[in-house]
């Protein structure tokens, strides 16, 4: 944020949101961000209108395998939605205000609820590969060193200077996920704390041990910055992690984390995750003008 003034960020987001709204009749109230290998969620959207990131003003370009790099508008369970098939990361070289720019664009387009997914390494020893962790809290490691999405001049049009983060992950949405999983007969849902690192290298054994002792149940390279910006802007947030690999914490282990494993686990759980998210969206209620449901 320090590299660019708050006014410029707002103007960029407004230009982008106005361009998108002028090219589609959809007025989304739900925003979805698909993580690695989880882009299939967008296939459930009815009457899709698709925009390549490269065609959208001010949008960065996704460079990660498993990320389609496109924005999909349409309806999901009757709710107007916009879905990111692929997100942006610090390790791609983008400044943090660019990584989170789409979230602010969503806010200006009228999005009220954000649903975010990611692939993560399991630190909790009770987690199995293929489990899905509902995120109840996070540890923002890049933020500790000052790489925080709200650093720099605050723009009150987005939110307050010092937002509370103890309630960033909406409790009702988390309960809705557990209710949906119970209805679908899913027994692989967990709930825990997600820790974000900058990447792109996977964590060392010592780092995994440290993060586990700090209270993290899963570790990844995304989501937290987006949630901070969304919560700052007054959007309800729900996020889940697909546990695609078990973090290595034993020096005698021959296991190695790799991106191919991440994508393969995504394919394995894709259909079930799509059903879970779509069932949650079906139960969402629209806010009225004073912000209540």
Q: Which of 238, 276, 267 is nearest to 66 (CA)?
A: 267
| Active site annotation includes 222 | yes
DSSP per position, 8-76 = HHHHHHHHHHHHHHHT-S---SEEEEE-TT-GGGGGG-EEEEEEEGGGSTT-----STT---EEEEEEE
Exactly one of 1, 120, 133, 221 is catalytic; name it: 221
Exactly one of 10, 18, 91, 191 is catalytic; name it: 91
Ramachandran area for residue 41 (φ above 0: left; ψ -120 to 50: alpha; else beta)? alpha
Residue for token digits 């498993």?
A: 66
| Active site annotation includes 168 | no
| Active site annotation includes 119 | yes
Q: CB-based burial of residue 139 (10 Å sphere; 0-12 exposed, 13-18 middle, 19+ buried)?
A: middle
Q: Which of 103, 79, 110, 116 is nearest to 279 (CA)?
A: 79
Alpha carbons within 13 angstroms on the beta-carbon side of residue 70 total: 13
| Active site annotation includes 36 | yes
| Active site annotation includes 290 | no
Measured in residues, the chain has a length of 293
| Active site annotation includes 92 | yes
Exactly one of 44, 119, 168, 249 is catalytic; name it: 119
Exactly one of 17, 53, 89, 124 is catalytic; name it: 89
| Active site annotation includes 23 | no
Exactly one of 18, 92, 191, 274 is catalytic; name it: 92
| Active site annotation includes 89 | yes
Exactly one of 259, 261, 268, 278 is catalytic; name it: 259
How many Å separate Cα 288 from the centre of its chain?
A: 25
Exactly one of 42, 62, 67, 241 is catalytic; name it: 67
Exactly one of 222, 226, 232, 246 is catalytic; name it: 222
| Active site annotation includes 169 | no
| Active site annotation includes 221 | yes
Query: Hey, which residues are catalytic here?
Result: 36, 67, 89, 91-92, 119, 221-222, 245, 259
């Amino acid at each position: 944020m320090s590299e660019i003034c708050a006014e410029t960020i707002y103007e960029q987001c407004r230009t982008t949101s106005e361009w998108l709204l002028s090219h589609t009749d959809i007025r989304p109230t739900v925003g979805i961000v698909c993580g690695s290998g989880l882009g299939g969620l967008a296939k459930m959207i009815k009457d899709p209108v698709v925009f390549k990131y490269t065609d959208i003003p001010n949008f960065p370009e996704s460079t990660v395998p498993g990320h389609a790099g496109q924005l999909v508008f349409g309806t999901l369970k009757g709710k107007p939605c916009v879905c990111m098939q692929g997100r942006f990361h610090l390790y791609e070289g983008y400044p943090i205000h660019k990584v989170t720019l789409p979230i602010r664009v969503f806010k200006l387009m009228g999005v009220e609820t954000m649903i975010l997914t990611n692939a993560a390494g399991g630190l909790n020893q009770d987690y199995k590969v293929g489990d899905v962790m509902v995120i109840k809290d996070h540890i923002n490691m890049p933020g500790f060193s000052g790489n925080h999405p709200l650093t720099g001049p605050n723009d009150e049009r987005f939110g307050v200077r010092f937002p509370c983060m103890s309630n960033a992950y909406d409790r009702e949405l988390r309960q809705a996920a557990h209710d949906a999983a119970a209805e679908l007969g899913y027994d692989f849902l967990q709930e825990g704390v997600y820790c974000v690192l900058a990447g792109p290298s996977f964590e060392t054994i010592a780092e995994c041990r440290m993060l586990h002792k700090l209270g993290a149940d899963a570790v990844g390279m995304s989501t937290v910055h987006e949630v901070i910006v969304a919560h700052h802007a007054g959007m309800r947030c729900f996020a889940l992690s697909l546990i695609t690999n078990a973090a290595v914490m034993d020096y005698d282990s021959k296991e190695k984390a790799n991106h191919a494993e991440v994508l393969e686990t995504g394919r394995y759980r894709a259909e079930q995750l799509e059903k879970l998210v779509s069932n949650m969206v079906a139960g969402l209620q629209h806010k009225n003008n004073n912000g209540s449901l």
